[in-house]
A and B are shown apart, each in its own frame.
Chain A
């Protein structure tokens, strides 16, 4: 809580300087420097690491934008480097621990002490923004901007820790046409911050303190309570994620930026496909646009498309965290989406089934079923396979 008070005090001082002291043309530089300062508070090495990557991607984008012959090669090398960095920091621990746990004998190898890897905070979000930028330049979008404006987009501190992954085409015009917020915008920004603080620090954190230990000892609780805890887990995770988004959107608003929404009533959706379209929207749409579409084109067979949907969910989940739990969660949701798509094909063939399933009185049932499917899956956030088995054993 002490950190939060310091953060809020620094924030309001920055906003005051930003709007009332600095002339308009200095604002983006100031916000870029504030973002660098914010990141350096976690670790100065992060600043150097991110600056290096930004210089690399900005230079590659300038080269690609000139329309040189080897632009495809430059794009490929840049993407390999960025994805390689992300995988190295996020998944090398998972890979080593899985190999070691599988009982593979390393005795014949010279002994190497692998350093404990420190995942730079916000790395996934920053790599996603960098990939988005360089790919859009390749697609010949007009993304011409100064290095400072590019840097501000990549490191914009309100969205540094937990997104959303805003698109450059939406963000940059707001840097160029910066207008001081009116009273209504200030009100919206402050309300959103307060909503986020309440969701994250009052509700999500306290729910987690109660729910997680209780789920670890399901045998000592009544069956109905364990069932409630499962639904509570989904609500706790939603409050945690969306609380961060609310704070990010609220702070951005006070600096004159309207950032995209990340959640749109996800627990009130009628099916699993609609759920994913309304949960963590910025990252889900990013993975759709830069993983699913380019890799699984429309000339693909139905089987390849279903494999694509499945793999997209696995990648999306592993993006959250590189461990076995999220691999299982990806498989769970990947299968869920494939089954849903197969059901769509069946409905296409049978008009009577289609007519029956679209009846409005079925909406509450469909919403509850989707919510239940999601809630059971979200147990992977807090429990390993043994603990999950114990919870399911208590219920069924």
Chain B
């Protein structure tokens, strides 16, 4: 799951031009913006069937690849 999400971010936001570290900040560094987060959530929903309520989204829960995995895990528990 982690690798699929990493590949999605690399392909869509880094255009396959470099690697993404697990603790690399996605928002502060400008890799993902608000629209990017929406696309990422749509990808997670379509690929893993995990839907999230936008009114319950906190941007800091998606700031790194590790944060995203923790958020998904808590959603699955």
**Which positions in A face B, CB cutoff 8 Å?**
135, 139, 273-274, 277, 285, 288-289, 292-300, 305, 309, 341, 348, 351, 354
Partner of B59, one of A289, A298, A300, A351: A289
Residue in B15, B34, B41, B57 whose Cβ sees the most chain A Cβ within 10 Å: B34
Partner of B54, one of A135, A293, A341, A354: A293
**How far, in angstroms, from A294 to B34 measured CA to CA in the complex?**
12
Nearest CB in chain B to that of A278: its residue: B30
Nearest CB in chain A to that of B57: its residue: A293
Nearest CB in chain A to that of B45: its residue: A298
Interface residues on B, range: 10 to 19
**Which positions in B face A, CB cutoff 8 Å?**
12, 15, 30, 33-35, 38-39, 41-42, 45, 52, 54-59
Q: Which residues of chain B are near A289, meaning CB under 8 Å? A: 57-59
B70 CB to closest chain A CB (Å) equals: 16
Given A298-B39, A298-B42, A354-B15, the answer on whether A288 and B54 have CB atoms closer than 8 Å is no
Q: Decide if B42 touches A299 in the complex (CB within 8 Å).
A: yes
Given A277-B33, A288-B34, the answer on whether A294 and B55 have CB atoms closer than 8 Å is yes
User: Main SS of chain A's interface residues?
Assistant: helix
Nearest CB in chain B to that of A264: its residue: B28
Q: Decide if B30 touches A277 in the complex (CB within 8 Å).
A: yes
Given A298-B45, A351-B15, the answer on whether A305 and B56 have CB atoms closer than 8 Å is no
Q: Which residues of chain B are near A297, meaning CB under 8 Å? A: 38, 54
In the complex, the 8 A-B pairs of residues with the closest C-beta atoms, listed nearest first? A294-B55, A298-B41, A297-B54, A298-B42, A298-B38, A293-B54, A293-B57, A139-B56
Can you offer 16 A-B residue contacts whose CB atoms are under 8 A? A277-B30, A288-B59, A289-B58, A289-B59, A297-B38, A298-B39, A298-B41, A298-B42, A298-B45, A300-B38, A305-B35, A305-B38, A309-B34, A341-B35, A348-B12, A354-B15
Nearest CB in chain B to that of A285: its residue: B59
Q: Which residues of chain A are near B30, meaning CB under 8 Å? A: 274, 277
Nearest CB in chain A to that of B39: its residue: A298
Nearest CB in chain A to that of B36: its residue: A344
**How far, in angstroms, from A293 to B59 measured CA to CA in the complex?**
10
